[in-house]
């Protein structure tokens, strides 16, 4: 936890990460006040919510950096933790400090350097549900100026849920990866660092079960088409760091390649309605240069320049299958045939394919600056002012088409016909924004201070490529001479999201740093919130702008060393995020009505997060073991509303984790458990064709780990 800067932040050390069983970014959830990432879907479903602000389908509300390298797609956020030296979570807009714009906050991860540690680490874990995990890492120095490291992992689980249709696992998962690092102290004040990182995952995915409103229970998954996800990520980065007694100049250059393959039964039922097979391929380049002062005077400053280009190709064919044609499209033609002058139209396709290919090119850049004036007017008073100028452009090149075969029946005549449609074109969006920030801080000693911050946040708009299959279906059914031409760009575009953020806080340490505390109150005024909703046909989802939203709340962190080997870490967050002005068109029966959601809570964002971590360590003298350590975590989350009408919700729920381990010399053995109380809860909700689906939380798990350091 930072004690120097007026920012709500949490810093996690390797001991905390290991003790709390944090294996991926989803495991940070709830340990950090008002930070929540639900565990559902697949490795691509990493949806962070910070202070009631999230981005389930749109761009980043949170920026992720790993060793100074930004990750562009949320689909790449979920990877296995290993080699982690430190994780830093900053809440609130941070665009005046970092290259990637972030409306909700920043997560910085740093991996272990061979300059900090030399040796070999090995770890093996086995547990329930077929868990098998292996990690290995070696760090070494060629000489006093050049160091290198290599590390890797393999992780497998048989999964927790069974598809009732074929009695196979609905969420088995295997992942593997590795990292190579070379560091060179070129001169005493010039440091270079090259890192190559690769991660792979292959899994059964989306274990969603049908919800029965009469019993309030969610059934096991039951679907006939394959639900699967695989992904590869490769990162190359070069960091140059030049340091003098006056300035620090840092250049971070990175290239990220990302490729994935998703197969989804979009009706999640044993019937054949429709399915999606999506493939993505990304090439992303980023350059970030930051220069900051290193003097000890009353004025500190930093300037930054960033530029990026991201090329994302998406191949997303949708297959409208037998039951969908029979039960959804055919009734439309039957309705038309009730007109005495209209012929009877009978669909003869077994499958209506809607192939789609989309090339999205996003590029942009930003200039950002921050200045701090210390001891302004009086001792201990400082002011920080920052400004960011941000520009982003998105170009979309799209092509999709389909056709439908029918028999036109008039009396005894039966004439085969075919109707087809194509959407092909290019469109673009440009966004620019000026984002100011100002903060006041007053420190009456070197251990306590209060602060107040006002800042502006922003998230760019974009395109709903998921809407094209729905758009094609509508186009196909409205092929009449009088049908108006659809403006594709207007239909699929969504607008930027803006926020004005107010925060006051207090940070302090007592008793020779054995007690540290952080308290903050925040208020966010959000306009045009980007909200995900499902299109009326059930063929997919879209992003819409949800008028005005306010989010207000409080955060408390407390870290205490209680003596005699006992430690306690408490984190609590409360966020009241609700619509101040939002109306939407909703289909009720056969009619479309305007519904006012003013005063309703924003869906998917929890109102409370509670994380309590207690630990105890006892050392032995002249005994077979060196020490024994025990860790217990209590995690509480909720209430979570699942829809804009707040008709469904997950009540506040809690889980309990624990670990106990012994160590001798460089060998440690641990026994651990997660969700010891086997709490029943839901992690995700959606609707498809009038059916309601949930994913259930993971049940009780246990395991044994062996750790060796050489």
Residue 146's region, left for phi above 0, alpha for psi from -120 to 50, else beta, is beta
pLDDT-based confidence at 479, cuts 50/70/90?
low
Instruction: Give SS3 for 490.
Output: helix
Which is it for strands 173-187 and 583-588: parallel, antiparallel or unpaired? unpaired
Question: What average pLDDT does this structure show over 57-70?
Answer: 81
At 478 the pLDDT is 66
- Residue with the bigger pLDDT between 593 and 231: it is 231
Residue 480 in this model has a pLDDT that exceeds 60:
no
Residue 282 in this model has a pLDDT that exceeds 60:
yes
8 A C-beta contact, residue 285 and residue 311: no
8 A C-beta contact, residue 269 and residue 327: no
At 588 the pLDDT is 64
Instruction: Give SS3 for 328.
Output: helix
**Closest C-alpha to 354, from 385, 384, 324:** 324
The 8-class DSSP code of residue 75 comes to G
Tokens coding 308 = 């990026």
At 482 the pLDDT is 47
At 4 the pLDDT is 64
At 587 the pLDDT is 67
C-alpha to C-alpha distance for 264 and 274, rounded to whole angstroms: 9
At 3 the pLDDT is 46
pTM > 0.85: yes
pLDDT digits (tens, 9 = 90+) for 287-298: 999 999 998 889
Q: In the chain, pLDDT over 70 holds for what percent of residues?
A: 95
Residue 665 in this model has a pLDDT that exceeds 70:
yes
At 305 the pLDDT is 96
Q: Which of 92-101, 110-119, 128-137 has the lowest mean pLDDT?
A: 92-101
pLDDT-based confidence at 2, cuts 50/70/90?
very low
For residue 151, what is the enclosing H or E element?
A: strand 146-157
C-alpha to C-alpha distance for 325 and 147, rounded to whole angstroms: 62
pLDDT-based confidence at 129, cuts 50/70/90?
very high
Instruction: Give SS3 for 281.
Output: strand
In the chain, the largest separation of any two C-alpha atoms, in whole Å, equals: 100
8 A C-beta contact, residue 203 and residue 172: yes
Residue 483 in this model has a pLDDT that exceeds 70:
no
Residue 58 in this model has a pLDDT that exceeds 60:
no
Q: Given the structure tokens 């005994």, which residue do they identify?
A: 623
The 8-class DSSP code of residue 488 comes to H
pLDDT-based confidence at 254, cuts 50/70/90?
very high
pLDDT digits (tens, 9 = 90+) for 364-388: 999 999 999 999 889 999 999 999 9
Residue 482 CB contacts under 8 Å (≥ 6 apart), including other chains: none
Residue 536 in this model has a pLDDT that exceeds 60:
no
Buried b (16+ CB within 10 A) or exposed e, 292-327: ebeeeeeebebebbbebebebbbebbbbbbebbbee
**Closest C-alpha to 685, from 676, 696, 694:** 694
Distances (CA, A) of 481 to 335, 419, 423, 438: 19, 14, 17, 58
Domains and CATH numbers, the chain: 8-709 (2.40.170.20)
Highest mean pLDDT among 26-35, 171-180, 343-352: 171-180
> What are the residues facing 627 on neighbouring strands?
619, 663
Instruction: Give SS3 for 606.
Output: coil
* Peptide bond just before 224 cis, omega within 30 deg: no
Neighbours of 186 (CB within 10 A): 12
């Amino acid at each position: 936890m930072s004690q120097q800067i007026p920012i709500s932040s949490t810093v996690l050390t390797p001991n905390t990460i290991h003790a709390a069983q944090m294996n991926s970014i989803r495991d940070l959830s709830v340990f950090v006040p008002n930070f929540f990432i639900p565990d559902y879907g697949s490795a691509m479903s990493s949806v962070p919510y910070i202070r009631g602000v999230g981005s389930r389908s749109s761009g980043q509300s949170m920026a992720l950096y790993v060793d100074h390298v930004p990750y562009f797609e949320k689909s790449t956020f979920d990877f296995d933790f290993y080699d982690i030296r430190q994780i830093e979570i900053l809440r609130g807009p941070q665009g005046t400090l970092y290259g990637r714009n972030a409306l909700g906050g920043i997560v910085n991860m740093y991996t272990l350097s061979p300059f900090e540690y030399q040796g070999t680490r090995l770890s093996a874990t086995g547990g329930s549900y077929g868990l098998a995990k292996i990690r290995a890492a070696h760090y070494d120095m060629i000489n006093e100026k050049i160091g290198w490291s290599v590390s890797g992992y393999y992780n497998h689980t048989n999964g927790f849920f069974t598809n009732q249709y074929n009695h196979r696992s609905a969420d088995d998962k295997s992942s593997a990866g590795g990292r190579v690092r070379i560091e060179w102290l070129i001169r005493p004040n010039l440091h270079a660092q090259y890192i190559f990182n690769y991660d792979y995952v292959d899994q059964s995915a989306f274990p969603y079960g049908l919800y029965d409103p009469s019993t309030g229970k969610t059934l096991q998954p039951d679907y006939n088409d394959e639900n699967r996800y695989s992904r590869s990520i490769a990162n190359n980065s070069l960091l140059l760091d030049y340091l003098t007694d006056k300035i620090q100049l840092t250049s971070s250059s990175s290239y990220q390649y990302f490729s994935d393959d998703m197969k989804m039964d979009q009706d999640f039922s044993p019937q054949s309605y429709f399915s999606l097979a999506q493939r993505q391929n990304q090439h992303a380049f980023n350059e970030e240069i930051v220069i900051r002062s290193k003097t000890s005077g009353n004025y500190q400053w930093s300037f930054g320049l960033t530029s990026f280009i991201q090329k994302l190709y998406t191949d997303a064919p949708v297959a409208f299958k037998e039951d969908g044609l029979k039960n959804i499209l055919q009734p439309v033609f039957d309705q038309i045939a009730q007109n005495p002058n209209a012929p009877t139209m009978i669909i003869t396709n077994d499958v209506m394919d809607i192939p789609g290919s989309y090339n999205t090119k996003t590029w942009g850049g930003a200039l950002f600056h921050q200045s701090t004036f210390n001891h302004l007017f009086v001792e201990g008073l400082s002011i920080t002012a920052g400004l960011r100028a941000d520009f982003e452009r998105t170009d979309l090149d799209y092509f999709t088409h389909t056709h439908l075969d029918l028999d036109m029946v008039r009396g005894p005549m039966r004439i085969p016909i075919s109707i087809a449609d194509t959407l092909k074109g290019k469109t673009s969006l440009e966004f620019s924004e000026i984002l100011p920030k100002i903060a006041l801080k007053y420190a009456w000693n070197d251990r306590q201070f209060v602060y107040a911050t006002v800042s502006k946040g922003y998230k760019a708009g974009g395109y709903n490529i998921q809407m094209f299959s729905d758009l094609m279906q509508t186009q196909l059914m409205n092929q009449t001479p009088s049908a108006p031409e659809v403006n594709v760009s207007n239909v699929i575009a969504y607008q930027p999201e803006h926020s004005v953020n107010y925060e006051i806080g207090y940070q302090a340490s007592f008793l020779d740093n054995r007690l540290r505390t952080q308290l903050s109150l925040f208020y966010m005024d959000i306009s045009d919130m980007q909200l995900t909703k499902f299109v009326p046909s059930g063929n997919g989802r879209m992003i819409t702008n949800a008028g005005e939203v306010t989010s207000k709340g409080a955060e408390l962190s407390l870290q205490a060393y209680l003596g005699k080997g006992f430690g306690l870490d408490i984190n609590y967050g409360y966020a009241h995020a609700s619509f101040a002005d939002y109306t939407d068109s909703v289909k009720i029966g056969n009619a479309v009505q305007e519904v006012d959601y003013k005063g309703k809570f924003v869906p998917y964002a929890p109102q409370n997060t509670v994380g309590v971590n207690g630990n105890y360590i006892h050392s032995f003298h002249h005994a077979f073991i060196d020490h024994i350590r025990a860790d217990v975590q209590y995690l509480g989350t909720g209430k979570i509303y699942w829809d804009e009408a707040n008709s469904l919700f997950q009540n506040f729920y809690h889980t309990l984790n624990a670990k106990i381990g012994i160590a001798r010399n460089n060998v440690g053995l641990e026994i651990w458990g997660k969700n010891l109380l086997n709490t029943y809860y839901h992690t995700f909700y959606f609707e498809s064709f009038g059916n309601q689906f949930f994913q259930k939380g993971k049940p009780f798990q246990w395991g044994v780990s062996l750790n060796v350091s050489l």
